Amino acid sequence: MNKRLKEIPTFTTEEEERVFWQTHDSTEFLDWSKGGKATFPNLKPTTQSISLRLPLWMLQSIKAAASRQDVPYQSLIKIWLSEKLDELAKSRNQPT
């Protein structure tokens, strides 16, 4: 069966487009069976710089740990924060 697809409207703002797709079924506008795998090789995760004050002894300990693992200390901090967030998420999802 060859379903006639509706034409996707032109949007003036991203917000207008967001509202449209939240209230419309995309299968009326696109034939997903003809879709392919998309790759976006140049995308980078969105990051934001922050300023964090640490006691000198703590920063020195972090730098020493990072040196032992042969990673930049800021990367090690991000790894540790990510691991802790994963732990917290898992503990919240477990029945008490």
- Residue by residue, pLDDT tens for the chain (96 residues) are 567 899 999 999 999 999 999 999 999 999 888 888 888 888 888 888 999 999 999 999 999 999 999 999 999 999 999 999 999 999 988 665
Q: Which domain holds residue 83?
A: 56-93
Assess if residue 38 is contained within a domain. Answer: no
| Dist CA 96 CA 86 (whole Å) | 18
Assess if residue 74 is contained within a domain. Answer: yes
Assess if residue 44 is contained within a domain. Answer: no
Q: Count Cα atoms within 13 angstroms, Cβ side, for 60.
A: 3
Assess if residue 49 is contained within a domain. Answer: no
Assess if residue 42 is contained within a domain. Answer: no
Q: Per the structure, how many domains does the chain have?
A: 2
Identify the burial level of 13 via C-beta atoms within 10 angstroms of its C-beta, where 0-12 means exposed, 13-18 middle and 19 or more buried. exposed
Per-residue pLDDT at 94:
66
Assess if residue 47 is contained within a domain. Answer: no
Per-residue pLDDT at 67:
96
pTM above 0.75, yes or no: no
| Total Cβ atoms within 10 A of residue 76 | 17
| Dist CA 76 CA 62 (whole Å) | 8
